Amino acid sequence: MNKIKRFVVSPDIPKRLEGLKKIAYNIWWSWNIEAIHLFRSIDVDLWEECHHNPVKMLGLLSAENYRNLVTDEVFMARVDRILEDLEEYLEAPTWFAKNYPDYQKVCIAYFTFEAGFHESLPLYSGGLGILSAEHLKSASELGVPLVSVSILYKLGYFQQYLNQDGWQMESYPENDYFNMPLTLETKPDGTPLFISIDYPGRKVYAQIWRMQVGRVPHFLLDANVEMNSPEDREITYQLYGGDNEMRIKQEILLGIGGTRALKLMGYDPMVCHMNEGHSGFLSLERVNMLVQDHGLKVHEAREIVKSTNVFTTHTPVPAGIDVFPVDLIRKYFTASCQAIGIDIEELIAFGRENPNDPNSPFNMAVLSFRMSYRINGVSKLHGQVSRRTWKHLWPGVPEDEVPIKHVTNGVHTKTWLSDEMKRMYDRYLGTRWLDEPDSGRVWERVDKIPDAELWRTHERLRERLVYFVRRQLARQLKARGLHHTKVSAAEEVFDPDALTIGFARRFARYKRATLLFTDPERLDLLVNNPSRPVQFIFAGKAHPQDNPGKDLIKQLIHTSSSDTFRHRIVFLENYDIEIARYMIQGVDIWLNNPRRPMEASGTSGMKGPINGGINLSVLDGWWDESYNGKNGWTIGNGEEYANQTEQDGIESLALYEILEKEVVPMFYQRDEAGIPRRWTAMMKESMRSVVPVFNTDRMLIDYLNMFYIPALQKWERLTSDNYDLAKDLVYWRNFIKDQWGKVKVLDVKTEADRVLKVGGIMVISAIVELGEINPWNVAVEVYYGKVDAQAYAVTNAQAMRMEWQKEVSPGQHLFTLEFPLTQSGETGFNVRVLPARDILNHKFDTGHITWW
């Protein structure tokens, strides 16, 4: 192939308009309505043609366009005002500075495989990417000292289109980095910065791009550079593409390469947050850096790393986790492990569910579990499911005490809020709601919004959605090559005044997109009622290799294209942030009907209440903890079924019943003024109960209080005084491991009055054999609770720590507890012994536990 000379042409923006460029290169504009209106006002058609990408649009403007803008005094005044807003935003005192003044110079690093900031930046596939981006947006809003790392994909995720039979097809248009809000990180001489990673038999290089997200820098790694082989350039080619080996190469780049990139640019993160297991290999590089740069031994470095990593798991099923054959691990890590001083088999054991099983593959979640200080699911229910799923990793630990917590996801309020609703909130809630989206007291004031104004505002949003649906549907039908009469008919679909229900998500089978279609005759009566019509909008993609998911889309298309349903049911192709925004802002009901408990969180439903929408959902994910009986509807009561066919049948009937007997009558019940008063009351309750709780500001504050700040404090303790505590902790762990086989609970006795009564005290004593272990290095606990029906175990159990009294004979110690009798009924208890030190990540950190 002939060589080519490459060059980059930048838009020639007049100096007076440099502020416009500064705004365009900070993603802050994407959640600032005034900034969006500013770009849109330049050229509405060009704005749409550029898919709302201001950087691309500025590159397409002519010199004459720029001259006209400079001479437009009103436009220039708006540019100056918005630039001033941006600069003021970047310099203003922040929530973090106020609440954590002693942590202004720390660095927290957030690693994610994908991030979805805006429809013009197709570097994401779905919910994980949207959540990641909104985590960073709230970090900017709160002023959290956070940096982020991801991968810059040349193709990103696929673009969806349907053939005439309704079968999903995929296309992969290339991303043009030079027309995106990205800047290349360079050396002082202007040449690009590169990191290198050792892959088997060669080095792989990546350059670093920066995307500025308000106050937060987000760095993206790009291996599509000339010094790499064609094969290695494909590492950053496609999101979720390729085989197992391509995936491990990508995850090495993210975890190891991302850590090196931060170091190269002068960042020294004290805490690293792994958003899913894709970045789990960062633990190895953090250990490597501590060994190489600070002279620590491997196990000393590992103590520091595992005490300062945070891991968030997003899937409720093990099948959603990346798992690699151990031969791939040996291929890619043997040399680097030798360089650090780690036995490759020790690394492999760290990633195996059963370290002693030679047939067990290498699991990225397991590696991340074992190398993290804190682990969390993304809703309360998901935390419970995760503890049940992974309890075998902590043998002897009761399920309720498995050290997996939860931080329920949220959404970035300003990203999804319509202009109309924002202005209404400003009028009735004041401006504090902008700065305190997590303040419940502010949102109590939604009752001050007149029902009529709330309803009319929402009706305008529904009308805009209907117009958007018609336009999108016409484009789809035309692209499919359908007859012009069918294309023209798209202008007649939907009624701007009809009850409008949205369903948009990944077309995985467990999400049951076609649950509504189990009874076509009943559905016909529902949607085509002349006085109370109902219309449904569906959107979403199936994974390219998921044929059953594609078949769901095909079924939906065939049904919606029939004469019976084509005016009332529409599928919008190529679901992205723009389609989501129109739907979230305009639908009356957001429908979600997964099989419980397979929805880890499901953040899409959190976005509707921001704009007055109401949820109709299975009690799964976030809705399980949000539903209060007044803020929406639930399908079922949280039942879980062994038989999926039975579950689908029961819950499809429940869905029809709710729609026919509750949702539709309430929507169409109007007073003399045409206002559905019961409906607007539910809209307000939906806003009040959801918006101040299920947002990323609250979510990030939870991460700070529960995870980040404690991890920062552990970093300070473990790295002070030449890492003395980390070194001592390794020695202590080894001592405990050697001695633990001698630990036994020899005897347990109880002393109490003859008749046990509520309010009394029962003294529990235990004789514990500790061998050479000091009694202050253990916790002896009474584990108690109600006895279950079979008397095999206790339920709703709790633990109380016993007090050391004396050494009764060499190595044998007496512990006692004055146990309060607080409730009647049968109570059971056991006594257990655990190693104890305040520096441990949790009480089960050592993996040792001895029961009586």
Residue 1 has pLDDT above 60, yes or no: no
Interval 666-680: pLDDT, tens: 999 999 999 999 999
pLDDT of residue 753: 63
547 pLDDT tier (thresholds 50, 70, 90): very high
191-247 pLDDT tens trace: 999 999 999 999 999 999 999 999 999 999 999 999 999 999 999 999 998 999 999
Which range is least confidently modeled, 44-48, 737-741, 750-754? 750-754
Q: What is the DSSP string of 81-124?
A: HHHHHHHHHHHS--HHHHH-GGGTT--EEEEES-----TT----
Would you state the pLDDT for residue 366?
A: 97
pLDDT value of position 492 = 85
The 744-751 sheet, strands edge to edge: 744-751, 761-769, 812-820, 803-809
pLDDT at residue 4, rounded to an integer: 66
Mean pLDDT computed over 673-688? 98
Average pLDDT, the chain: 94
Identify the pLDDT of residue 794: 81
């690009």: which residue's tokens?
Answer: 192
Structure confidence by residue, pLDDT tens digits, 556-601: 999 999 999 999 999 999 999 999 999 999 999 999 999 999 999 9
- What pLDDT is attached to residue 67? 94
Number of H helices, E strands in the chain: 33, 28
Residue 8: its pLDDT value, please?
65
pLDDT digit string, tens, across residues 401-450: 999 999 999 999 999 999 999 999 999 998 878 777 677 788 999 999 99
| 748 or 8, higher pLDDT | 748
Residue 436: predicted pLDDT: 75
Q: Please say whether the beta carbons of 162 and 553 come within 8 A.
A: yes
pLDDT for residue 172: 93
| DSSP assignment letter at 10 | -
Residue 376 has pLDDT above 90, yes or no: yes
Contact, 778 vs 840, CB < 8 A?
no
| H or E element at residue 159 | strand 159-162
What percentage of the chain has pLDDT greater than the value 90? 89
Q: Give the CA angle between residues 568, 573, 577 to the nearest 5°.
A: 105
Give the tokens for residue 711: 């991890």
Instruction: Report which secondary-structure segment, H or E, holds 454.
Output: helix 451-479
Q: Tell me what pLDDT residue 535 has.
A: 98
Confidence at residue 285, expressed as pLDDT on a 0 to 100 scale: 97
Is residue 9 pLDDT above 70, yes or no?
A: no
Q: Give me the mean pLDDT over the 162-185 stretch.
A: 95
pLDDT single digits (tens) 690-732? 999 999 999 999 999 999 999 999 999 999 999 999 999 999 9
Q: Where are the alpha helices (DSSP H) in 169-307?
A: 230-233, 244-252, 258-264, 282-294, 298-306
pTM (2 d.p.):
0.95
**Please, which residues have CB within 8 angstroms of residue 319's CB and are 6 or more apart in sequence?**
none
* Of 311, 432, 319, 328, residue with least CA distance to 378: 311
Report CA Rg, the chain: 29
Q: Provide the pLDDT for residue 483.
A: 78
HEC per residue, 197-235: EEECCEEEEEEEEEEEECCEEEEEEECCCCCCCHHHHHH
Longest distance between any two alpha carbons in the chain, whole Å: 98
Report the Cα–Cα distance between both ends of the chain, in Å, rounded.
73
What's the average model confidence in pLDDT over 34-47? Answer: 97
Residue 792: pLDDT over 70: no
